Amino acid sequence: MTDTSASDRPVQGPVLHDEMPEFEAAWATPPGWRILSSVSHRVVGQRFIVTGLVFFLIAGFLALLVRTQLIVPNNTFLDAETYNQVFTMHGTLMMFLFAIPILEGFAVYLLPLMLGARDLIFPRMGAFGYWCYLFGGIIVLSSFLFDAAPDGGWFMYTPLSTSQYTPGLSADFWLIGITFAEIASVTAAVEIIAAVLCTRAPGMSLTRMPIFAWYMLVTAFMIAIGFPPLIIGSILLEIERVAGLPFFDVTAGGDPLLWQHLFWLFGHPEVYIIFLPAAGMVATMLPTFVGKPLFGYGFAVAAVVTMGFISFGLWAHHMFATGLPTISLTLFSAASTMVAIPTGVQIFSFIFTLAQGRPRLTVPMLFILGFLFIFVIGGLTGVMLASVPFNWQAHDSYFVVAHLHYVLIGGMVFPLVGAFYYWSPHFTGRMMSERLGRWAFWLMFTGFHITFFLMHLTGLRGMPRRVATYPEGLGWDRLNLLSTLGSYILAAGVLVFVWDFLRHRMSGPLAPRDPWGAGTLEWLYPPIAPGHNFHAIPRVHSREPLWDQPELLREHAHLAEGVLRGASHGMRETVGCHPVTGEPLQIVRLPKPTWVPLWAAATIAVAAVATLASAYVIAGAALVAMLVCFALWAWEPSQTGETVDTGPEGVLPVNVADRLGHTHIATIGTLLVLAALYGSLLFSVLYLWNVHPDFTTIAGLADPLWAAVAGGLALVLIASSKVAAHKGPRLGLDVPVLLSAVATGAGLFVAMLQIDPRDTAVAATLWVMAGFVGVMLFVMAFWSLFLAVRKLFGQVAPHHRVPDLNRGSFGLATGVMVLIAVVVLLAPHIEGLS
């Protein structure tokens, strides 16, 4: 055995060049600059984490500029315009480019290790998501270079963000860049759903799954449903800015509150999307330092699942001051109060875990305690703000700023820093400093409270948010001074942490195997294992396999008993499992390093930049190039039907054509995202129709005959795609699917021609709805053409049913969307008849 690793890393993980050369070659990370083509979850996860940290530091610097401006009354450190840009970019970077991506980075890195998989299930999708995130973030940040930084707040409220009140490109940078970056979140969500459900170690049923995986599974579903409303809102607003369609224009039956509904339908669940992964980290780290399993695993699962649902019923509590009917306010107030119950269940679960033993007060543990203290205070002020009368008083005041920072910094940043200290051996093979860590904690903890606790008082004394300065003598001077000084202390704590993170990479003590005595599977190997995770995947019998199966740590990790030892035929493989029981179901073949994800993301980046520059021909060409990239991505020989001898678990088939197979589950996950996008559009149509009835009569009616024809063709589409899925890959079956998709789109287009999208907001939204369905039909047609070409070129054997199976489900969903669109278009005719 040769113990070695990359030259800049500690010599630790077992690399079996002599014993298993084929395995090591299959999983090797490309050297030099070719590492950019790596799709390994370890590489991609670290990219997410490091990039997120950079955005955090930039956003933190902007926060310091804000606090410096407010240190004294009538300050002129920043002018009002710059101040608006700075606080807008602070919020935007923190919420979109730091909080969610960095947590996804941890999930991408840790989940396969915890679940007993050799990589994430769709490595190329993870890499593609990262590049979209990076390019989107660069686009948003580059607005500073063009003196066009967004200045309308991180929420981009209309009508302020429309071209009438925000001319120039600043809002476009935000809308295009953030929507682009959100592709990363959505792709990561689909990937995490499929990975958690389909690639767990043998024996790891849902009840034995690490609690972090439960948190991430629920979070991924929340992202899949929560992000689409904002994506739709951003698309509508960008179309209004570029093409003048009146979605938010009150003179044409539009409504600025529609933007707020769409934004907060995303924005409030997002708070929980940020909180839950961090709470999952706490639930993972805490038992390690207490030395006991998490108290009330079942309570925590119930709380996480119910919180995932209930958090979608709170969005309008950000709109209490917008004039919604009082009865609606009370509904959202009730739901906002109710969410405290599952949150409280989780907190008590943590507290009872603490009470089970004598916790070791390590640095991660300090940050966990800091999280509990701060987040509980933030939760309590959250319950206060859920009360409508109090909310009206505190609305848009510094009390709200204090509350949200208690929830987000307490609920996310503190656990995150604790997580860095806990899992850093995985990234560097070394331990971060306990001494510097304690300095970082106490500086951050003290600075945080000085900064934000006082803001409660500033807010209660009436200071509004988002003001560039304030006159003296209103009782805000001293509080602002102290808050600013506190922010400097907080920043010093962050700098100590960052310094420790950079420093320990070179000089931290080497981390031993399982340095904290944890029970979860990611610590089975010594830190810095080579590019792969498991030479053989062990069968697990409990949630803490390293505690309950001592044989796993008794000898070298690479000698542990398990399935799939080695790499047959030099391919990357992992075990695919039954989503519920965790029993092995199939072998999943994973891709090797490839440049395609980078090229695909780059084409979208070109399209985004070209749109910003109004170079629409280039944007169109880039989108065509994107389709070529996706075709190259999917152009690979099908391996369904092959088998692999896994050892203890016997012979398993490769990439099974089954509804429980990983690609089908990913298809369902993707359809969930698409359904949420479509649902957001339907909500928009119904909202405008309901709120501005006078304008719906002007909107014009779709041609009923052609709409009915489109509906009939949609039924043909559903039937043909289902027949193709059932009968298996035959070239003749692709043709009806292709033709019915094209014909349905044509029918729908003709039906829409009688509606002028420039007339009213409802008409414009109906066109976007039809356009969305058109894109779905285009995907069906492109997919069918692609499959047909593959069959022509002999890439598909008769038993390779997976693509047809997946297209069958996609076709069903597309057909149903067409039928819903037809009902919406025909409804006014039926209403007129009645």
Q: Which residues here bind another protein, judged by CB under 8 A?
A: 203, 205-208, 296-299, 301-303, 305-306, 308-310, 312-313, 325-331, 333-335, 337-338, 341-342, 345, 541-543, 548, 580-581, 583, 689-693
DSSP 652: E
Q: Of 334 and 792, which has the nearer Cβ to another protein? A: 334
CA pair distance 493, 60, nearest whole angstrom: 12
DSSP 357: S
Task: Pick the closest to residue 657 from 681, 640, 679, 634 (CA basis).
Answer: 640
Could you tell me the smallest distance in angstroms from the CB atom of residue 311 to another protein?
Answer: 11
Could you tell me the smallest distance in angstroms from the CB atom of residue 387 to another protein?
Answer: 13
Helices (H), 509-644: 545-548, 551-554, 596-612, 616-634
Residues 6+ apart with CB under 8 A from 510: 10, 12, 429, 430, 431
Q: Of 167 and 389, which has the nearer Cβ to another protein? A: 389
Could you tell me the smallest distance in angstroms from the CB atom of residue 204 to another protein?
Answer: 10
Q: Of 29 and 542, which has the nearer Cβ to another protein? A: 542
Per DSSP, the chain holds a count of helices (H) and strands (E) of: 27, 6
CA pair distance 650, 770, nearest whole angstrom: 50
Could you tell me the smallest distance in angstroms from the CB atom of residue 329 to another protein?
Answer: 7
Could you tell me the smallest distance in angstroms from the CB atom of residue 388 to another protein?
Answer: 10
Could you tell me the smallest distance in angstroms from the CB atom of residue 696 to another protein?
Answer: 9
Cross-strand bridge partners of residue 2: 15
CB atoms within 10 A of CB 506: 9
Residues 6+ apart with CB under 8 A from 54: none
Q: Of 333 and 483, which has the nearer Cβ to another protein? A: 333
Could you tell me the smallest distance in angstroms from the CB atom of residue 667 to another protein?
Answer: 20
Could you tell me the smallest distance in angstroms from the CB atom of residue 316 to another protein?
Answer: 9
CA pair distance 415, 367, nearest whole angstrom: 6
Q: How far does Cα 596 stand from its chain's mean position? A: 21
Could you tell me the smallest distance in angstroms from the CB atom of residue 689 to another protein?
Answer: 7
Q: Of 528 and 761, which has the nearer Cβ to another protein? A: 761
Task: Pick the closest to residue 426 from 49, 830, 763, 90 (CA basis).
Answer: 49
Q: Of 31 and 323, which has the nearer Cβ to another protein? A: 323
CB atoms within 10 A of CB 425: 27
Could you tell me the two tokens for 418?
Answer: 């604790």
Residues 6+ apart with CB under 8 A from 433: 500, 503, 504, 508
Q: Of 548 and 645, which has the nearer Cβ to another protein? A: 548
Could you tell me the smallest distance in angstroms from the CB atom of residue 335 to another protein?
Answer: 6
Q: What is the DSSP string of 478-546?
A: HHHHHHHHHHHHHHHHHHHHHHHHHHHHHHSPBP-SSTT---SGGGSSPSS--SSS-SSBPP--SS-HH
Could you tell me the smallest distance in angstroms from the CB atom of residue 293 to another protein?
Answer: 8
Could you tell me the two tokens for 762?
Answer: 């409802």
Residues 6+ apart with CB under 8 A from 141: 58, 89, 93
Could you tell me the smallest distance in angstroms from the CB atom of residue 517 to another protein?
Answer: 19
Task: Pick the closest to residue 131 from 595, 521, 470 (CA basis).
Answer: 595
Residue with tokens 């935007």: 92
DSSP 643: E
Could you tell me the smallest distance in angstroms from the CB atom of residue 690 to another protein?
Answer: 5
Q: Are strands 14-15 and 2-3 parallel, antiparallel or unpaired?
A: antiparallel
Q: Of 473 and 550, which has the nearer Cβ to another protein? A: 550
Q: Of 160 and 340, which has the nearer Cβ to another protein? A: 340
CA pair distance 602, 250, nearest whole angstrom: 38
Cross-strand bridge partners of residue 14: 3
Could you tell me the smallest distance in angstroms from the CB atom of residue 405 to another protein?
Answer: 27
Could you tell me the two tokens for 405?
Answer: 């920072």
Task: Pick the closest to residue 809 from 640, 654, 663, 638 (CA basis).
Answer: 663
Q: Of 25 and 830, which has the nearer Cβ to another protein? A: 830
Contact (CB, 8 A) for 702 and 752: yes
Q: Of 329 and 644, which has the nearer Cβ to another protein? A: 329
CB atoms within 10 A of CB 389: 10
At 162, the amino acid letter reads T
Could you tell me the two tokens for 237?
Answer: 């607003």
Task: Pick the closest to residue 448 from 359, 378, 498, 383 (CA basis).
Answer: 378
Q: Of 301 and 619, which has the nearer Cβ to another protein? A: 301
Q: Of 205 and 446, which has the nearer Cβ to another protein? A: 205
Could you tell me the smallest distance in angstroms from the CB atom of residue 251 to another protein?
Answer: 16
